[in-house]
Each structure stands twice: as structure tokens, then as C-alpha cells.
Structure 1
Amino acid sequence: MLSTAAPDTGRMDRTRSLSPRLRRLRQWRPSRPLGWTLAALGIAILLLVLFFDWNWFKGPLERAVGSATGREFRIGGDLDVDLGRTITVSADQLTLSNAEWSKEPRMGAAERVEIDIAAWPLLALRLRMKEIRAVRTDIWLETNPDGEGGNWEFGDDHSDPDEDPRWRLERLWIDDGRLRFTNASERTDIDLALASIEGGDRSTAPVAVKGNGHWRGAAFRMEGQAASPLELADTDTPYRIDLDARAGRTRASATGTLTNPFRFQTFDLQMKLAGADLEELYPLLGLALPASPPYALDGRLRRNGDVWRYEGFKGTVGDSDLSGDVKVDVSGERPLFVAQLLSRKLDLDDLAGFLGAPPATGAGETANAEQEAEAARRAASPRLLPDKPYDLAKLNAMDADVRWRAQKIQSPTLPMIEDMDAHLVAQAGRVRLQPLDFGVAGGEVRADITMDARRAPIDTVARIGVRGVDLPKLLAKAELAQGAVGRIGGDISLRGRGNSVAAILGSADGDVALGMGRGRVSNLVMELAGIDIAEALKFLLTDDRQVPVRCAFADFGVEEGLMTSRALAFDTTDTIIVGEGTINLQDESLDLLLRPRPKDRSILTLRSPLRVGGSFKDPSFRPDMKALGLRGAIALALGSITPPAALLATFETGPGENADCGGKYAR
């Protein structure tokens, strides 16, 4: 029995409610020939997409890039496009020509570039590049010969900085890249290998950097990391670097940021600087610093336009600590070097470079190989005064204003030197040390030195004042000085011409006067000076005692480097010593005759004059045998002993107490 289903009255009602046109459209079916036609069209579109030769667009694309940059752009290989929600455009053998003023024809080249582009923003005429992958790129950046701008500037940019840009690049990945930078006016060229580093956020992937080149003509090499080159496009955003560089024996490690790196006008870096000699910074930075032993410094290096600052640095130079702040202003005709320096402990021989001498090279001393060789040469030389000439070009290369304080000075050979305060001012080849103060044996040696290096030979004027130098501290290492009392003062005024310390002193004219007022010395010293054998043996076998000193003075006139005595005496209640002779600063020879006259009576008193000869480096002391047994040979012993009037004010036995030495010799 057949059953009949009930009709779907709801569906029938909906069908009847449609308009006749819509009912006809719903009921239409394509004919068989038309269906085949539509299928063929779809297949054709698919084949067109799959097999279309995108190289047809190379010409329009080259013209578009050329119009935007003002440079010729070429795609020497294939151009291909993969369509989808992300469109990938790839091209091979790309080149971009250089600026018209450049001698290098190409600014950039790449073996292959792939660009991922978001599809939907294209409908709004905006280009959003998700990533650019560049393989074996070679980019050449160089500054304009006039020093303004570089080949990375493409025509005039009339875009509104507040307007949302119509293109954006999010990521840049470099595979086996090369970046070269040239600044001919600064004699600087850099050749770097770049490669993006895997790991972390790919959008901000840094690049490994390794290469070499020349900085101000000096060869160097470097390696480290830098931020993505994509960030170089924003010249207002600091570009982060972490690099180590070496130029010869000079090493630098810099961590921080550069703003507009290719102009190199603004940066803020933590800089570690180390090397064998501060003098080697001259070709690198143009700073005419004196020779020094090996150094290592760490501080904050900043630049803002023409002003460089190395702030809060600390470190060592040789065996001395050094800290402070340095500012270099390069806006003028010559760089201006301004520094405030502090050493809590200064090894005195580390200052030898100021005099043209090497630092000490014994056990525990710090020096470089050249300084060790120079010290060995000087040790074999019979001369003592430094003869290394100053470099006049360097003395004229920069101006300076430097204050250097040393709280404590270490010197095994000169332990009496305690501290230092030096102020150096250099301007247009004229160098002045005022003051150059040393605390010496409880007193002070204050110097005012001027060097005019505007032409050779250097004209040097030195005025040195000695005040309140304590005798026992001065002779702290001499056992016979124990218990001695007395203070030394005097003045030295010299003027010489020469390009080294030895040449300046060897040509000097002036005066040298030193003296001591009332005090005490060891009796044994005086007996030995008078060669009183019996008295000396007595004090050697028993206890020494102190003998009052009436005064002591040495007054020399200096002409053409020859110091000739005008007055020379040492007067105590026990012995008087008067002398005469010369000290030759030119050949460093000594020729002094000291005539002792003991004031007591002894059967073994030889009363022989003492001849001081030899050289500064190897002095000799011997009795004058020809004068043995001669009585009354001391010409000034029975007369008046009067020091130069200028010395009287420097004699003192205590604060505010001056002493003369003008009385008659008393038997």
C-alpha cells in the first residue's frame, strides 16, 4: 500500500513569496557549453598566475626606484612574485648607482633580495614590507668631498615628518653582507663583514660585525655587534653598538649609542681604552700627549658636535692610578684639551715622558718594549740628562689647560718627594707650567716654566723656588743624617735654548743659589769631611753627637751651561768647608774643590782638600794629595763668611725665624 507524504506547505509559501525575477534566477542553470567555457577561463587564470613571466615588470620597477632615489637601479637577474595573503617578491643581481660626485660607480649591490609584502594594505596604496632578506650584499657609503652629507642622502625629502609614511619596513635580515665606509677628508675607511645573528626577536636581530680599515690614516681592526642596520634609517634614534677595536698597540672597547653614525657627531659610549703609550693616540685622535708607560682607562665618552668628553674615567698609567675628566673642543684652529686629573698614588718615574726619558724598568716597574730598550741604552750611556728631542709639530698641534694633582708620590730613589700640584697651559705653541709644585721633605719646590716652541730651538725659561726643605727628611736614607736639623731654601733662574732637556740646560744662562740657616748635623760627618782620623774613630767607636750648623750656601752663576761658583761654604762650630769650582751642564762634568778646616786640634788631622770630579752619572770624591800637610791653605776660612744677600731671606730654623751667617770665623 502506497503512502503519500504530506506536502511541505511552509516551503511552498516561501517559494510563492519570491518575486518572479528571483525565482527565475534561482532556477537558472548554465548550459553545458557555457560551463565548459567558464572552467577553461578559470584554468587559464590559474595558469597565468603560475606561469606568468614577472620579468615584464622589471622595467617599470627599475624606473620607479630610479625616480624615487635619483639613481640608476638595475635588476640583472630574474624577478619573481609569489601571490597570497603575503606576497613575496624576489629579485637577483640588483645594483644601485652611486652619487654623481663619487668615483665609485656603484653604491650598492646584492646577489639576491626577497621581500615579504602584506597584501591587504596595498588596496589602500600603502606598502608594508614584513621582511627583507638580503644575500651577499655590498654597500659602499662615503661622505661628500666637501664634508657635508654623503651618498646615502637621496635628493630632497619633502615629506611631512608628522604624516604617516606610506611605506614601512619591519625586519631586515642580512646573509653574508659587506659594508664599506669612506671619509677621505678624515683619512678614514672601514670595510666590515655583516651577518644577522640567529636567536631572539627576528624583528630586532643585531648583526655580527668584523672588519678593518683606517682611522685618521692609522690602520685598525674591529669586531663585535651592532643593532640591525634597519635602525640606521632613523638618524634621530640612537644606534646601539658593542665593539672592540685595535689600532696597533692601542685597544678600545665601546658600548653605547651613536646618533646618526655616519656623521659621527653625537654619541654616548662607555669606553675602555688601553695601550702601550699615550703618545700613540696622536695619529688616532690628534691629541699630542706625552710619552707614557702602558695604560688602561675606563670612562664615559660622549660627543656633541665639536666637543668630546671623557668623563669619570679611572685607571692606571704605568704604576700610577689616574682619574678625572677630559674635554676636547675641536671647533677652533687647534683642538683645545682641558683636563682635571687626580692621582692618589703617583709613581714619579711615570712622569719621565714629560722630560723625554723612559720610565724605570726594574723589577716591579711597568714599561713597554721600546721604553725598556731606551732605558737600556741610557743605562749604557755616560750621560744622565735626557736628550730625546721634543716634537715641535706636536707642541704646536693643540692647546691645553690641564690641572694634575697627586696626593702621594712614590719614588724609591727620591723618597723625599711627597706630592704634586701641576697646572699646564699650552696656547699656540707656548707651553707654561705654572705652578709646578712638589712637596719635598716637608717643604716645597715651586717652579714656573715657560717653553716657546713656535720655532726651533725651543726657548725655555725656568724659575724655581725652594722653601723649607727639611734636611733630615731630604737625607732620610743616610744614617749619618739621623737627628740632623735644618731647612734648605733658595732660588734657581735659568734660560736656555734647545729641543731637549739636555740641550736646554747645556745652553742655559742664569743663577743658582741654595742655602741653609742654623741647624745641626752629625759630628762624624764633619770629622770625615775634615779627614780627622782620630776624631772619626772616636765617634765610630762610641756615640755620635750633633754639631750646630751656623749656615751653608752655594751660589753659582750660569753662562752657556757652565755653572761657576761665586760663594760656596758649610760652616759649623766644628768644621768649616769652603769651596770653588764649576759644574758643566753641557758635558755633565764636575770640577769642585772643597777645603775643610777642622776647628779642633787633632794629631791625625790631614786637612786635605776634597776634589769632587767625574760626571753627573758617575761622580768621584778623592782627597787632593798635593795639598796634604799644607797649613793655612783655606783661603776664606779666617775671613768673613757672607752668603749672597738674596739667600738670607730663605734661611730659617723654624717658622718665621731667619738666620744670617755673616760673623767672623771663630777659632
Structure 2
Amino acid sequence: MKVAVTLAGAVVLVVVAVVGMDLAGWPGLAPRLAAQAERGLDMDAGARLHLLWKPRLEAPRLRVSGTHGEPLADAKDVLLNWQWGDIWAWRRGAPLRLRLVQADSLSLNWQRDAAGHTAWPVQPSGAPDEPAEMPQIDHLVVRHGTAQLDDAPLLLLADARFATQADGRWTADLKGKLRGQQLALKAEAGAGLALLAPAEAGLPPVKLRAELTQRDGRIAFDGTAASLLDARSLDGQLQVRGNSLADVGRPFGITLPSTPPLELSGRLQHASGVWQLGNAKARVGRSQLAGDFSYDMRQKRPLLSGMLRGGPLRLADLGPAVGTDATPSRPGRVLPDRPLDLPSLNTMDARVAVALNQLDLNTPKLAPLAPVNTSVVLEGGVLTLEHFNAGMAGGELAGSLRLDTHPSPPQWQVHADMRGVAIEQWLKFEAKSLSAHPVTGRLRADVDVQGRGRSTAELLGSLNGPVRLQLDKGSISHLLTEATGLDLAQGLGVLLRGDKNLELNCARVDGSFKAGTLRPRSAVIDNRDSRIDIDGRISLGDETLDLRVVAKPKDFSLLTLRSPVRVQGTLADPRIALEGKALGGKAIAAIALGALAPPAALLAFVDPGEDLPPVSCDGPAPAPRADAARPAVTASAPSYPAARRGPAPRRQGQP
């Protein structure tokens, strides 16, 4: 019995002693443990360690050194709070978690190399060479704090100042570079905002306001969050202003197209690696856009998905993305030759539906497309425009585009199918003395081409594939017809009584691109007055023209030069001239007749016309004339496939 009492008393004394020592903070224990741990920890002799109930460390001063002795942290009047379960999890490989870090002053030096290694002594024993994750701090309370950040995985190089105000608000001011972009960050949060917090922490969101300024841009957020650095449970209003959408996305590793200056607003949310921007409204240049988007960073290749809607979208506002906003570097050229930013297409995937009420082609001479629907898919470096469908001057344009960035140079494929387009509504031009609509009719076209290139000029200069155009139920200006045939007498008569359109029997072009050069196999315009044949070539590689236009009048004329017209030169400087051989023959005949009797010289310019049958675009091709100076291009009819109509143009908002 006495033994039991003695043992019980001893136990009580031990418990009392342990409790007493814990209440006293185990004087001298914390500094000795830090020195023996050989983990770069150093604290003053006045440090106190409490291991029971609420584990914590209180130290007048605490210093942390790196693996090579470099200073990493220096804090005064420190209080650290943790749970033993957090330490157990850390020993098994989880990131170190501290429930509270409180200090009167704190100076930090945070560095990580590209492999994620850090000099901070936070790796559990037995795994000193493994990359360390950043410690998770649920609550950071620092009256005066500074930090130097050099984080290679985040591509962050910055200096920061932060503090907890007397009313509990948390403020931070950061200046530096993120992914090579100069920026400054100002943030303000409610008391208790964590720097990092795991999902299981269940920390409640607190109010957060942040403003990130770039060289010529600004990103502002006003909402709530449960942690700052990993933006857990982020939810609030976002406002963005910048010189380009690409500049806005670059600091965050998001691949976005180059654009004119923009303003954007919407509701931004983030949870578990998925960012969402809802009810977004944007003005890009003079374009008005809206949409809802999601950016999933959990996958190996981030995925952007969502819906882009609104309008009008001006083609000029897409110019920076496709290189059309820059003057060609080669003198005398008109095709854009600035290289496109194709490597960036390999950094992410995308699936975005597009439903616009209007696509403005940025010229008053072409009517806009309305509405426009398509799907943009980017997968593994292959960009496709699927199910493209647009209303076009009473008709429709359907097609697809595919860009494969893996070959060198990248490979492009384009298919376009146009049906029922009223050309007088789509093409808008005015010319004195001509009728109000010099050309009318319903245009249909098929383009199925492919090419290779890193710029618009390089792509167009390598095109291969067929091109077919046909104008149904059309008409053409009478005066324009006579001018093409150089019929001076009849042209003067039409000019005096007023121009009217002549009904077309047939108007079509059937040709193909080969290595960037378009050569028509058949190009004809036929009405009751004349038949016009066109042959030659248009080279997009060197941007040169060499076309021959031959008009064959069907009626009598007192005064006509009846000479083929040559269109030559370049796209930037086309030149029109009369073919010398035919015109020279008329001149010689006029001189000979004038020698007999001067008035007879005019007989050389009298044309009785030709007895040519009407050309039908649906009928057999007319035979070429044997006496032509060179083979005239005839209407050897293209075999039009059946109309490949896509779905009818959809209304705005439909996917």
C-alpha cells in the first residue's frame, strides 16, 4: 500500500513538474533543440516552448538560415502556433503547416530554383533532396514585414512590404516582375487571411481587395478569398484594362491573342485550380464582346473553355493577332509578312464556342457578316475553326480552318462554301456614270485550299487547291461592258442616254492555286451584248499580275478598237494597257485605207460583231476561236458539286 501511495505521489509530482515546466515554457529547451536540430534555426535564450494543450513557440527573436548559412528569416517577438497532427503529416511528406505566425517585425528571403528546391530547412528528415513546397500559414499577423521573393517555378522576382493594421486589416505592397512583366501589387484583406491553405482547412473567406498594375495596364479585384497566394475560394468582381489581351494574360501564363487596347469586367472565381470568369463584358478596340469562360489548370495542359458572344467584332481588332496591323517588311508588297505567334499555341488547349451578332470586315466596301457562329478548338498544338457559319448579304458562308503547328513550316487547310450571296448587297462601290449597282446576282463559291507558312504572306504564297466562283441570275453594267470591249461609239451612246444593266447569261471563274499562283481554267462573262474571256495568272508569292481580258462584241459598232486588255504589274501597283499586236493591226489598216481616201480610215474601226451563241453556265463550253491571237479562255464548264449547305445562320447566343 505504501508503495502504491509512493508511486502515485511520484506520478503527481512528475505531472505537476511537467505542467509547471510547460507553463513556464521549458526555459532553455527551445534554443537547445534548435541548436541540436542542425536545421538553421536560431533563437534567443528567452524563447519559451509550450507543448501541451495549444502547442506554440514564443521567442523574443528567431532567425532561420539556409543550407549554406544564408539568412532566410529574421523575426522579433515571435509567436508560432501549430497542431501535432500538422507535424505528423509534415514528417510524412506533407507541406509544413503553421496555424498562426505572429511577429512584431519579420524579414523574409524566399528563393526556389527551377526544380522547386529551396534553401529553407522545411523538408522532413530523410528527404533532404526533394523539392519543398511552400509552408502553409493559415494566419499571418505581422506589424511590420518585408520580403524578397525569387521564385523560379512562379517566375516571380519581387520585393514586398506587408503589415497587419491595428484594426486587423492586412495590407501588402509588392513591386517586381512576374513572368518577365514589370508589375506592382497592392492588396488589402480582412483579419485572418491565410497565405496558403489546404482544402481540408475549411477556412472561411474574408474580404480581399487587390490591384495589380503593369506598365500600361491595371487588374483590380474586389471580393473574398480564403487564402492569398493560391487564391483559395476566390470570388469577386474583376476589372481589367490593358494595351493588349496578350499582355494581360502573359504574367499568369495564359495564352491569349494580341489585340488593341481593351477594358474587361466580370465575376472571377477560383477553386481547386479552376478559374472561372462569368458574365464577362469587354471592349477590345471598337469591338463589343461578352462571354463566360473557365480555365482549368489541374491538367498537364491547361484548358480554356467557354462561350464568346456579343458583337460587333471588328476584323481590324484581330489584326495584331494575325499580323495584319504591321506594314510589310518587303518594299512594294501588300500582304502581311509579320510572323504569327504560333509557338504559343502549344502551351494550352481550348474549346470555345463563338456566337456573334456581327463580324465587321473593317471596310465600307464590304457588308458585315451577321450572325457568325463557330467553335474554336485548340488541342495539342492543332487549331481548328469548326462548323463556321455566317449570314452574308442574304446568303450564307460556311466552312472550316485547320492549322497544324507541328510541321515546319506549319500547315494550313481552309474550306469555304458560299451560297446565295447578293453581290450588290455585299460589295458596295460607287462609280460615276455607272448604274447604281454595276454588278448584281447571287454569288456561289467553293474554295478548298491548303498551304504552309508562318505568316499571312508565306501562307498565301504557297496555296494549292481549286477555286470556283459563279454568279447566278446576275446582271452587269452596259457601260462597263462597252468599256471592256473598247467600243467607243456604243459606249458614248450609253453614256448619253444613261447606264442600265444587261442580264447575264453566264459569269463564272473556275481555276486553281498552285504554289501560290492562281490560273483560271475557265473565266467568262457573257450577256447579249458581248462575251468577255479572261486568262493569265495572279501570283500571291511575288504579288504580280498578268491577266488578259478579251471582249467579243455580238452587235454592230461604228467605232471600236477591239483590242485585248492586259492587266499587269503588282498587287500594290497594277497597270492596264492595250495589247499592241491587235491595236497595231487596226492602225496599219487605218493608214492603208486613209491613203486611198482619208474618211475611209475610219472603216478600220468598224466592227460588225460576231454571231456568238449565248453561253450557259449549266451548258457545254463554247469552242475557242481558231483565229485568236492566243487561246482565249472559254467557259469549259466547271463541274460544280451539289451545294454543301451548312446549317442555317443561327441567332445570337446559340452555340
Residue 72 of structure 1: aligned partner: 41
Sort the Cα spacing of 1:228 and 1:108 in 2 relative to 1 into closer, same or farther, 3 A.
farther
Sort the Cα spacing of 1:553 and 1:601 in 2 relative to 1 into closer, same or farther, 3 A.
same
Sort the Cα spacing of 1:637 and 1:302 in 2 relative to 1 into closer, same or farther, 3 A.
farther
Q: The residue matched to 2:263 in structure 1 has which SS? A: strand
> Quick one: distance in 1 between partners of 2:581 and 2:139?
99
Of residues 464-473 and 216-225 in structure 1, the stretch that sits farther from structure 2 once superposed is 216-225
> Quick one: distance in 1 between partners of 2:294 and 2:414?
28
Identity of aligned residues (%): 27
Q: The residue matched to 1:517 in structure 2 has which SS? A: strand
Map of 1:284-323 to 2, 5 A cutoff? 284-323=251-290
> Quick one: distance in 2 between partners of 1:298 and 1:151?
39
Matched, 1:407 2:357: yes
Matched, 1:543 2:498: yes
CA shift for structure 1 position 245: 1.1
Matched, 1:616 2:571: yes
Question: Match for 2:415 among 463, 475, 479?
Answer: 463
Sort the Cα spacing of 1:621 and 1:144 in 2 relative to 1 into closer, same or farther, 3 A.
closer
CA shift for structure 1 position 602: 2.0
> Quick one: distance in 2 between partners of 1:445 and 1:170?
58
> Quick one: distance in 2 between partners of 1:273 and 1:555?
49
Matched, 1:226 2:189: yes
> Quick one: distance in 2 between partners of 1:603 and 1:194?
93
Matched, 1:645 2:641: no
Letter in structure 2 aligned against 1:428: G
Q: Any stretches of 5+ residues in structure 1 without a counterpart?
A: 1-54, 81-89, 116-130, 157-168, 359-373, 656-667
Residue 219 of structure 2: aligned partner: 252
Question: Match for 2:375 among 423, 445, 459?
Answer: 423
Sort the Cα spacing of 1:482 and 1:435 in 2 relative to 1 into closer, same or farther, 3 A.
farther
Sort the Cα spacing of 1:275 and 1:104 in 2 relative to 1 into closer, same or farther, 3 A.
farther
Residue 462 of structure 2: aligned partner: 507
CA shift for structure 1 position 350: 1.3
Letter in structure 1 aligned against 2:430: A
> Quick one: distance in 2 between partners of 1:636 and 1:512?
31
Structure 2 contact 323–337 (Cα < 8 Å) conserved: yes
Q: The residue matched to 2:204 in structure 1 has which SS? A: coil
- Count how many residue pairs are aligned between Structure 1 and Structure 2: 537
> Quick one: distance in 2 between partners of 1:179 and 1:385?
51
Sort the Cα spacing of 1:237 and 1:582 in 2 relative to 1 into closer, same or farther, 3 A.
same
Matched, 1:558 2:551: no
Matched, 1:109 2:61: no
CA shift for structure 1 position 562: 1.6
Residue 341 of structure 2: aligned partner: 391
Q: The residue matched to 1:334 in structure 2 has which SS? A: coil
> Quick one: distance in 2 between partners of 1:511 and 1:636?
33
Structure 2 contact 108–148 (Cα < 8 Å) conserved: yes
Letter in structure 2 aligned against 1:583: I
> Quick one: distance in 1 between partners of 2:215 and 2:416?
40
> Quick one: distance in 1 between partners of 2:207 and 2:331?
53
Letter in structure 1 aligned against 2:415: R
> Quick one: distance in 1 between partners of 2:357 and 2:547?
38
TM-score (norm 2): 0.72
1:567-611 per-position Cα deviation (integer Å, ceiling 9, x unaligned): 111001122100110011111111100111222222122222221
Sort the Cα spacing of 1:325 and 1:303 in 2 relative to 1 into closer, same or farther, 3 A.
same
TM-score (norm 1): 0.70
> Quick one: distance in 2 between partners of 1:404 and 1:210?
39
Residue 599 of structure 2: aligned partner: none
Map of 1:32-71 to 2, 5 A cutoff? 59=28, 62=31
> Quick one: distance in 2 between partners of 1:452 and 1:396?
10
Matched, 1:603 2:596: no
Letter in structure 1 aligned against 2:481: M
1:73-125 per-position Cα deviation (integer Å, ceiling 9, x unaligned): 5238x999xxxxxxxxx986x22326x77975433423x6799xxxxxxxxxx
CA shift for structure 1 position 380: 8.4
Question: Match for 2:304 among 331, 337, 340?
Answer: 337
Sort the Cα spacing of 1:406 and 1:67 in 2 relative to 1 into closer, same or farther, 3 A.
farther
Q: The residue matched to 2:541 in structure 1 has which SS? A: coil
1:316-357 per-position Cα deviation (integer Å, ceiling 9, x unaligned): 111101110111122223111113101321112112234322
Letter in structure 2 aligned against 1:577: I
> Quick one: distance in 2 between partners of 1:349 and 1:341?
18
Sort the Cα spacing of 1:288 and 1:194 in 2 relative to 1 into closer, same or farther, 3 A.
closer
Sort the Cα spacing of 1:379 and 1:396 in 2 relative to 1 into closer, same or farther, 3 A.
closer
1:247-266 per-position Cα deviation (integer Å, ceiling 9, x unaligned): 34442112223323344454
Structure 2 contact 397–419 (Cα < 8 Å) conserved: yes
Letter in structure 2 aligned against 1:215: L
Letter in structure 2 aligned against 1:340: M
> Quick one: distance in 2 between partners of 1:285 and 1:185?
12
CA shift for structure 1 position 413: 4.2
CA RMSD of the aligned region, Å?
A: 4.2
Question: Match for 2:106 among 129, 137, 144?
Answer: 137
Letter in structure 1 aligned against 2:495: L
> Quick one: distance in 2 between partners of 1:307 and 1:222?
22
Structure 1 contact 490–650 (Cα < 8 Å) conserved: no
Structure 1 contact 276–295 (Cα < 8 Å) conserved: yes
> Quick one: distance in 1 between partners of 2:315 and 2:564?
37
Residue 185 of structure 1: aligned partner: 153
Sort the Cα spacing of 1:414 and 1:348 in 2 relative to 1 into closer, same or farther, 3 A.
farther
Q: Decide which structure has the larger Cα Rg and report it.
A: 1
Q: The residue matched to 1:476 in structure 2 has which SS? A: coil
Of residues 257-266 and 464-473 in structure 1, the stretch that sits farther from structure 2 once superposed is 257-266
CA shift for structure 1 position 285: 2.5
> Quick one: distance in 1 between partners of 2:528 and 2:397?
29
1:605-645 per-position Cα deviation (integer Å, ceiling 9, x unaligned): 22222211222233233333432265999999674454533
CA shift for structure 1 position 421: 2.3
> Quick one: distance in 2 between partners of 1:224 and 1:615?
58
Sort the Cα spacing of 1:263 and 1:474 in 2 relative to 1 into closer, same or farther, 3 A.
closer
Structure 1 contact 113–135 (Cα < 8 Å) conserved: yes
> Quick one: distance in 1 between partners of 2:391 and 2:320?
21
> Quick one: distance in 2 between partners of 1:513 and 1:405?
28
> Quick one: distance in 2 between partners of 1:379 and 1:568?
34
Q: The residue matched to 1:531 in structure 2 has which SS? A: coil
Matched, 1:493 2:416: no
> Quick one: distance in 2 between partners of 1:290 and 1:645?
40
Structure 1 contact 396–454 (Cα < 8 Å) conserved: no
Question: Match for 2:244 among 241, 255, 277?
Answer: 277
> Quick one: distance in 2 between partners of 1:103 and 1:532?
96
The structure with higher relative contact order (CA 8 Å, sep 6+) is: 2
Sort the Cα spacing of 1:625 and 1:531 in 2 relative to 1 into closer, same or farther, 3 A.
same
Sort the Cα spacing of 1:240 and 1:637 in 2 relative to 1 into closer, same or farther, 3 A.
farther
> Quick one: distance in 2 between partners of 1:140 and 1:246?
23
Question: Match for 1:444 among 396, 405, 420?
Answer: 396
Residue 194 of structure 1: aligned partner: 162
Sort the Cα spacing of 1:296 and 1:381 in 2 relative to 1 into closer, same or farther, 3 A.
farther
Sort the Cα spacing of 1:426 and 1:173 in 2 relative to 1 into closer, same or farther, 3 A.
closer
> Quick one: distance in 2 between partners of 1:289 and 1:56?
56
Letter in structure 2 aligned against 1:646: S
Map of 1:337-376 to 2, 5 A cutoff? 337-358=304-325, 374=326
Sort the Cα spacing of 1:552 and 1:191 in 2 relative to 1 into closer, same or farther, 3 A.
same
Sort the Cα spacing of 1:568 and 1:496 in 2 relative to 1 into closer, same or farther, 3 A.
same
Letter in structure 2 aligned against 1:467: R
Sort the Cα spacing of 1:227 and 1:140 in 2 relative to 1 into closer, same or farther, 3 A.
farther
1:177-204 per-position Cα deviation (integer Å, ceiling 9, x unaligned): 224555432223443212445xxxx4x4
Structure 1 contact 445–466 (Cα < 8 Å) conserved: yes
